[in-house]
Amino acid sequence: MSYSPHAIRNICLLGHGGNGKTTLVESFLRTTGVIDRLGKTSDGNTVSDYDPEEIKRQISISASVIPVEYNGCKINVLDTPGNFDFAGEVVECLSVADAGILVCAAKGGLSVGTERAWKLLNERKMPRLIYISKMDEDNVDFNSAFDTLREHFGKNIAPMVVPIWDENKRVTGIADVLHKRAFELHDGKRVEIEVPEDKVPVIEEIYEKLMESVAETSEEFMDKYFSGEPFTYAEVVQGLKAGVKDGSIVPVLCGSAYTGLGTMMLLDLIIDLLPTPLEGIPAMGTDREGEPAEFIVSQGAVPAAYVFKTVADQYGKFSFVKVLSDHLSPDMTLVNTNTGNNEKLGRLYVMTGKKNTEVKELMCGDIGAIGKMDKVKTGDTLCDARKFMKLDPLPFAEPNYSKAIAPKVRGQEDKIAAGLARLNEEDPTFRVVNNAETHQMVVTTAGDIQMDVLVSKLKSRFGVEVELSEPRVAYREKIRKSVSKQGRHKKQTGGSGQFGDVWIRFEPGPNEELEFCEEVFGGSVPKNFFPAVEKGLREACLHGVLAGYPVVNLKATLYDGSYHPVDSSEIAFKTAAQLAYKAALPEASPVLMEPVGELKVTVPDNYMGDVIGDLNKRRGRVMGMDPTDDGSQVITAEVPMAEMMTYAIDLRAMTQSRGSFVFHFVRYEDCPPAAQEKAIAAAKAMAEE
């Protein structure tokens, strides 16, 4: 069945891992009759967690789209992982959602996942509801959870429900503040009950505060409120919807996804208070001239769609899209504005977890998938050639946890590379680099769990077992004083021999590249052998004398030598130059240089002492501190790369996952003696292996 944009809601479920997002999706499906029994994450039988890795780990790893049909509307629920290693999935879903639902647990205080989700919604200025979950558990305290939310997120947090509990403090029902009605569950069915007497004044007080919030949404409502005239229900919904859209009202609901208590009320409020795709926030991008432009979801324009996620499994490749204007139908040809290619659309599907249902068209504002679009990637915009639009790239956080990856069985490097390339289509948040200098393939992810999932998928889907190790640090070597040495190569065999003889002065140079000069007088070394001498030195510079690392900032001057009219050759002079290099450099006070990067770490104020103390242990130099708008600090420091290998994990532990950082190479600096000894010992051990 096709739905008009007015009857579609695209919502993103956000929150800390374990707060019950996936179970809430199950509750939506059971309430609307799609499933007859609730799946459990622990049993591995939920609709949205279907990947073998998710079932094995009992956590969400990738986002899934679950359409819920309710009261003549289609709610596209985007269920996102709560684990921070998979925050890229949240970014993908927020790019196409029109509102967010923050799922918080009733116990345990405010989790860092809730804080992060709130921040993401603020950055995008997105309307939101808050759902306090797991109200069926023992010792839950709605009032405490609500007070914590209000304390952290402000006075615009507005309760829409009042829990009803028995003498044992177990929640047995909820009262709906807007309708002043109360409900309980009897044998899994919602049954209306009398509002308990002790809840009537509480409901009246909250209702009055809601009416104040409604009055503040327009001058007309304000006048009506002060004249003492009551609002109609339609006006209340209109005012609340306006307040939710501009963020001045954040409705709070509660319930139990497991029992279904509060699920129907949440579905009602999603339809009544959250925006349609036509009312959503405009997407930002560029027009044909490359100028910044806003793109609003509209029915009347020519077809356009945005690819926000890719799934490639044994059944094929699906490109998940949101239709931005008009509609999509199979075999339609659209331009991929990221590549310039014309793309003929394949079959269209509506996805419900792993289940796909083929459809004849996808309407404006809806979310679905296109099959077998091999050249289309996550973040691409597909549009009609007449109306060019290219949406901004997805703002993924930079990955910063690196490991060198190698096959357990030699010769399977190509298999790893092909597997990672396929996995990178699905998950563009990790990076793969073949480091020619250290001869390692290095994978960089958001954290150790994402890394572990990649290793597991390489084995299960591509049949290749891998080993992880610390990436090698690309050191450099240089000399600190001037030394002159002779290099003499003489070899006499039966026929013509080899003869090359050079005197070369080696000294510290201004440039990173080798600077080769010659000051030969009287033709002691013929000019035609100069290039061979330079070539020999350039090859030699690839391996220093301390630990075999490339030599930089070297100036070499050829100033004397001798030759043989018959036996001298280019190869002989090249070898002679290398002999001079090997003789001179150990005496030229060589030193190891280490790469140093600029670190920008963002942490809340109360973790500053721990973070700065830790940076000092890593030989870091703090360069400055800048406060941010949300009460955090950005510490800028310079830290040797060798000390940053485990920083992604260590910072999480130090800051309870509230800290984040970016780290970029800046320059090379002389290595302190202790660090130099350690690096040389490691290089020798590696050479012996």
The tens digit of pLDDT for each residue in 610-647 reads 999 999 999 999 999 999 888 899 999 999 999 999 99
Taking the C-alpha atoms of residue 572 and residue 499, their distance in angstroms, rounded to an integer, is 6
332 near 373, Cβ under 8 Å? no
Which pLDDT score is estimated for 494? Answer: 62
- State the amino acid at position 548 in one-letter form: G
Dihedral angle, C-alpha 634, 124, 29, 136, nearest 10 °: 50
pLDDT of 441 over the 80 cut: yes
Burial of 631 (0-12, 13-18, 19+ CB in 10 A): exposed
Taking the C-alpha atoms of residue 632 and residue 626, their distance in angstroms, rounded to an integer, is 9
Q: What is the pLDDT of residues 215-228, one digit of tens each?
A: 998 899 999 988 88
CA neighbours closer than 13 Å in the CB half-sphere of residue 574: 10
Dihedral angle, C-alpha 664, 669, 673, 677, nearest 10 °: 60
pLDDT of 495 over the 70 cut: no
DSSP 231: P
Which pLDDT score is estimated for 314? Answer: 65
Taking the C-alpha atoms of residue 656 and residue 118, their distance in angstroms, rounded to an integer, is 17
Which pLDDT score is estimated for 36? Answer: 84
Which pLDDT score is estimated for 315? Answer: 64
Which pLDDT score is estimated for 166? Answer: 79
Residue 496: closest CA among 554, 425, 572: 572
pLDDT of 493 over the 80 cut: no
Output the six-digit token pair for 292.
Answer: 């910044």
CA neighbours closer than 13 Å in the CB half-sphere of residue 67: 21
Q: What is the pLDDT of residues 561-574, one digit of tens each?
A: 999 888 889 999 99
pLDDT of 42 over the 90 cut: no
> What's the rounded mean pLDDT across residues 662-677?
93
Which pLDDT score is estimated for 37? Answer: 85
Lowest mean pLDDT among 72-81, 135-144, 175-184, 431-440: 135-144
Output the six-digit token pair for 191.
Answer: 């049954």
Taking the C-alpha atoms of residue 308 and residue 88, their distance in angstroms, rounded to an integer, is 11
Taking the C-alpha atoms of residue 364 and residue 370, their distance in angstroms, rounded to an integer, is 15
> What's the rounded mean pLDDT across residues 664-680?
93
Q: What is the pLDDT of residues 397-428, one digit of tens each?
A: 999 999 999 999 988 999 999 999 999 999 99
Lowest mean pLDDT among 38-42, 76-80, 282-286: 38-42
Taking the C-alpha atoms of residue 362 and residue 318, their distance in angstroms, rounded to an integer, is 15
> What's the rounded mean pLDDT across residues 529-545?
95
Taking the C-alpha atoms of residue 525 and residue 521, their distance in angstroms, rounded to an integer, is 8
Which pLDDT score is estimated for 552? Answer: 95
Cα angle 335, 12, 155 (rounded to 5 degrees) comes to 130
Identify the band that residue 308 occupies on the pLDDT scale cut at 50, 70 and 90.
very high
pLDDT of 313 over the 80 cut: no
> What's the rounded mean pLDDT across residues 605-612?
94
Q: What is the pLDDT of residues 90-115, one digit of tens each?
A: 999 999 999 999 999 888 778 899 99
* Residue 95: Cβ within 10 Å count: 21
Contacts of residue 288, defined as CB under 8 A and 6 or more positions apart, other chains included, come to 388
Identify the band that residue 598 occupies on the pLDDT scale cut at 50, 70 and 90.
very high
296 near 282, Cβ under 8 Å? yes
Element (H, E) at 506: strand 498-508
pTM of the model: 0.89
263 near 257, Cβ under 8 Å? yes
Taking the C-alpha atoms of residue 427 and residue 424, their distance in angstroms, rounded to an integer, is 5
Output the six-digit token pair for 614.
Answer: 């830790």
Taking the C-alpha atoms of residue 57 and residue 206, their distance in angstroms, rounded to an integer, is 42
Taking the C-alpha atoms of residue 81 and residue 90, their distance in angstroms, rounded to an integer, is 7
Q: What is the mean pLDDT of the chain?
A: 92
Contacts of residue 630, defined as CB under 8 A and 6 or more positions apart, other chains included, come to 119
Q: What residues pair up with 488 in beta bridges, in sequence order?
A: 501
Q: What is the pLDDT of residues 160-209, one digit of tens each?
A: 999 988 777 778 899 999 999 999 888 778 888 999 988 999 999 999 99
Percent of the residues in the chain that have a pLDDT greater than 70, as a whole number: 99
Q: What is the pLDDT of residues 250-267, one digit of tens each?
A: 999 999 999 899 999 999
Radius of gyration of the chain from its Cα atoms, rounded to whole angstroms = 33
- State the amino acid at position 681 in one-letter form: A
Which pLDDT score is estimated for 497? Answer: 82
Burial of 443 (0-12, 13-18, 19+ CB in 10 A): buried
Which residue has 């994990």 as its token pair? 649
Lowest mean pLDDT among 289-298, 328-337, 427-436, 491-500: 491-500
